[in-house]
Chain A
Amino acid sequence: MAGHDRKSVLIVDDDEDILSLLASILEDEGYEVEVAKNGREGLESLQHEKPDLVLLDMKMPVMNGWEFAKEFHARYDSAVPIVVITAAEDAKKRAEETAANGWIGKPFDLDVLLDTVDRYAS
């Protein structure tokens, strides 16, 4: 199946519009997209299937990005690369705090988003 060749991305963000935006862009680029509205939903999703990349927002209700990353690393070590996508000024610092592989600042340039996702999902 073609589905097996397609890279998959799990997007964790509490803002539905952001989820839709990212999902539609990445789907248009040929990615298989799973979405979760907070850390807990993200972890639940991971129990069914491991994506090639996790795009992680930081500030979320129920379970935030830091808690998600901590739990994720505890369960799966570094099986899946994580890229934080945050409105925080210092996105790089957020990445260091969560032991994430990369970072994207909000708002982002489309080219930067696609380059970064492509780089870490491969």
Chain B
Amino acid sequence: MLNDFFWVDKKRDIVRTYEDLLKDINTARVTRSIIKDENTYNVFLSIVVNIVHDIDSVIVDHDFSGSELEKINIKEESIQEKIVITENRQVTYENIRLILQNSLSKSKINLFTSGTTGVPKKVEHTLENLVRNVRMSEKHEKNVWGFAYNPTHFAGLQVFFQAFMNRNMMVNIFDVNPLDIENILLDYNVTNISATPTFYRTLTPSLKKENSNILHLTLGGEKFDENIKEKLSQIFYKAKFHNIYASTEAGSLLISNGDTFKIPERFKSKIKVSIENELLIHKSLLGASESLKLNNNWYHTGDIIERTEGEFFKIKGRDSEVINVGGYNVNPNEVEELIRRNNFVVDVIVKGRPNKLIGNIIIAEIVKLDEVEEPELRNQLLSVLNENLQSYKVPRIFTFVEKIDKSRTGKIKRK
């Protein structure tokens, strides 16, 4: 029965049914607490195995470099450390749902966020935080998901739990050539996709055929984009659109059908707007982290809102140094720190330059010593940056300037 597929990844030639998944869970004799895997199926499998055996998970991007891991205090050796499973807990799909429900406050899943001061922050979520917005009903049982997020990020886990709890099939379209996606969506009767506006913008030029299977399209991780919504609604003409506001620190909080949000009744005492129009989240909604800075129990998101009508508002932009590149957050301090290590560099500022396709593009302005030529220095920097950073963090443009504009406080001006 087609509906019993759990995970289809054509790129890696992986097809797993729920039965296969259960078999893999029940026959697992070792597991790892730190999950770093290029294959999304293995990430999901490890998460569930760890929940079943009361082991906390730490999920890291598979393309983290040695120095990026060092910053978050993870040693290469500890990733390889195996935990032997001694207890024989055989699970079925029915009791695994129960186990999940019983582990809500017990099971911990750790994720990383880009941080605001140069060091990525670890945020510990209870399973409860992760499944807060999972909806289960007969209606949801027929959904088929196009999986379009990095599985190590909050949004990816959200889709995974939503699909898993409703016994839905997921089809990988995340790291797939956009040219192949149109047929994958049609072949597997995909009904739901949740992705960043950048993902959709990259996908649409390859879509030639109308698709009546898609019923729900969710946009998240970046500013809502009316243009792409219009394009998508021509191809996926039956789709309803949803906009989601989520963060690694707090998980998904606000969901709407357009570009405006309203604080839902159940969060009224936990989400508020400051007089500076910044969105604030109460501690009780956050994952635990030693490095999240709170002000009287409120977390300052850095997201600035604009009131539209009554209780409704739009996310206008960020008052924070973090730069959003295609749904990924880049901390400019982390990039500057690496560039400064080069002896020919006198001063540097890393900024985001607005871009229609991916939101922002990372650029670096550099003051250099005279004894090095620009192309030579650019190549030196690129080789170090590519080796030490995930590719979306590496500046695409280097400009060499006489002086970097600083404000009176001596703080670098990024805008």
Do the two shown chains form a genuine complex with each other?
Answer: no
